[in-house]
């Protein structure tokens, strides 16, 4: 199997991660497509250097998160404000009450800082603090502290409404 075929297979297997990340960090469809392409490009540039020291998904999350943060930084320099009001959550077992609660939660998550937003995203993806630490480069204890503060902040905001 060629390097290109392996890469395409990796992208196809992990497409969900990329779509979730782009929908979290880009507002409209055009920006989501641009960010998706940027992430895939960065993954391709680094693919040959991936040694397997970490899990493949950890490596993908790290590159996707760093690329997304850089994308936002570049957008802000151009005077563009990121808004994620158009996120559509896909749920096969559609529950309107759950859907409304998720919209409220995501609305409050969007108000967090970029790094905290990424930490919450990884947490909601079921990642343990150790893996979030590897992906973000932030110590595990700092991740725990940040998550406690983020949970407290989100809880206070949601209860107010």
Q: Report the share of the chain in percent with pLDDT over 70.
A: 89
86, 114, 131 - which closes a domain:
86
Q: Is the pTM of this model over 0.85?
A: no
Tell me the pLDDT tens digit for each residue of 58-86.
Answer: 999 999 999 999 998 887 776 544 555 55
Taking alpha carbons only, the member of 81, 80, 74, 103 closest to residue 91 is: 103
Q: Looking at residue 161, which CATH number applies to its domain? A: 1.10.10
Q: If you average pLDDT over every residue of the chain, what do you get?
A: 85
62, 86, 110 - which closes a domain:
86
Q: Looking at residue 61, which CATH number applies to its domain? A: 1.10.1740.10
Tell me the pLDDT tens digit for each residue of 76-115.
Answer: 776 544 555 555 555 466 677 877 888 888 888 888 888 9
Range of the domain at 138: 89-161
Do 111 and 64 sit in the same domain of this protein?
Answer: no
Which residue did the predictor score with more confidence, 10 or 158?
10
Q: Quickly tell me which residue has 């893996």 as its tokens.
A: 131
Q: Quickly tell me which residue has 């409050």 as its tokens.
A: 108
The two tokens of residue 103 are: 């919209």
Tell me the pLDDT tens digit for each residue of 17-64.
Answer: 898 889 888 878 888 999 999 999 999 999 988 888 888 989 999 999
Number of domains observed in the structure of the chain: 2
User: Is 136 exposed, middle or buried (CB count within 10 Å of its CB: 0-12, 13-18, 19+)?
Assistant: buried
């Amino acid at each position: 199997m060629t390097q290109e075929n392996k890469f395409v297979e990796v992208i196809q297997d992990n497409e969900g991660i990329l779509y979730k990340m782009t929908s979290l960090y880009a507002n409209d469809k055009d920006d989501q497509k641009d960010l998706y392409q940027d992430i895939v490009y960065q993954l391709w540039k680094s693919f040959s250097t991936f040694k397997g020291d970490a899990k493949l998904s950890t490596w993908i999350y790290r590159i996707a998160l760093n690329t997304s943060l850089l994308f936002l930084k570049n957008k802000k320099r151009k005077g563009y404000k990121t808004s994620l009001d158009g996120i559509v959550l896909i749920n096969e077992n559609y529950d309107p009450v759950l859907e409304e609660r998720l919209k409220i939660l995501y609305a409050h998550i969007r108000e967090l800082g970029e790094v905290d937003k990424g930490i919450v995203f990884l947490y909601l993806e079921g990642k343990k603090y150790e893996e979030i630490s590897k992906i973000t480069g932030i110590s595990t204890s700092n991740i725990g502290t940040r998550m406690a503060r983020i949970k407290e902040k989100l809880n206070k905001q949601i209860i107010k409404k």
